[in-house]
Each structure stands twice: as structure tokens, then as C-alpha cells.
Amino acid sequence: MPVEYRAKLEAYADMLEDNGVEVHLPHRDTNQDGNGFDICRQNAMAINLSNEVHVFYHDGSQGTHFDMGVAFALNQLIGKEIKVVPVENPIYSKGKSFAKMLDEWQMSQGGEIDDEAFEDVFI
């Protein structure tokens, strides 16, 4: 993970935590010494315990795509209320993309970010 990207994630998590929000930041809070299956399982469990998933979308990050898929499946297939919050999303074209899907998902949930509603957050 690039140093600048990590610093952005950590600064955002610190800001939320300074405001009393419980945050799970995978590179910090998931045991990275485990195998891939264990890391994915830990992240999936943390997403399941959260009520929001804040996304700094990075198209080259396999972890970002996995976490989005877990949140999407829990929300759309099982009906768990998880609010998606695209914090950083690149500009995209008219075609289909995960970046565009994030905005579409947020719009399907009302499209507004309620700063007062942050509780347990997975970044």
C-alpha cells in the first residue's frame, strides 16, 4: 500500500475516532500475519459488525474490491443495513465500473452523507 494512501486512510480514521466513532481499519486492525483466508474472514466479520462502510476506492486494491463485495452481499442479499459512503472515488466515464457502482449504491440509499450517523465504521 502506498505511503500516501495509508496516511490518508489513517488520518480519516483518526478524525472519526476523535469524534467517538468506532473504526475498523483493515491494515491496522486485522491480523496481517494470517493467511489470505483468515484475513478475508476477519474483514468480513468486521464488516458484518459495522453499520457503515467508508470507501477510499482504489481500482488496484484487491482488498477494496473484496470488502465492497462483502458489504454489497450483506446489504443486498441478506438485507443487513449497511450504509456505503464513498469517501474518495475517482472520476469515471459513462461505462460500467466499480467506481460508478459505488455512487449508484450510495444514491440508492438516499445519496446523502449524514455526519451525525457514524457509529461503527469499516474503512
Every domain of the chain and the residues it spans: 22-94
Backbone angles phi, psi at 24, to 5 degrees: -110, 115
What's the count of helices (H) and strands (E) in the chain, helices before strands?
A: 5, 4
pLDDT (0 to 100) of residue 110: 81
| Gap between the Cα atoms of 55 and 33, Å rounded | 23
- Report the predicted TM-score, pTM, of the whole model to 2 decimal places: 0.80
pLDDT, tens digit (0-9, with 9 covering 90-100), for 42-63: 999 999 999 888 888 888 889 9
Angle between helices 36-49 and 62-76 (to 10 degrees): 40
66-103 residue pLDDT tens: 999 999 999 889 888 888 888 888 888 888 888 888 88
Q: Which residue has cell 460508478?
A: 100
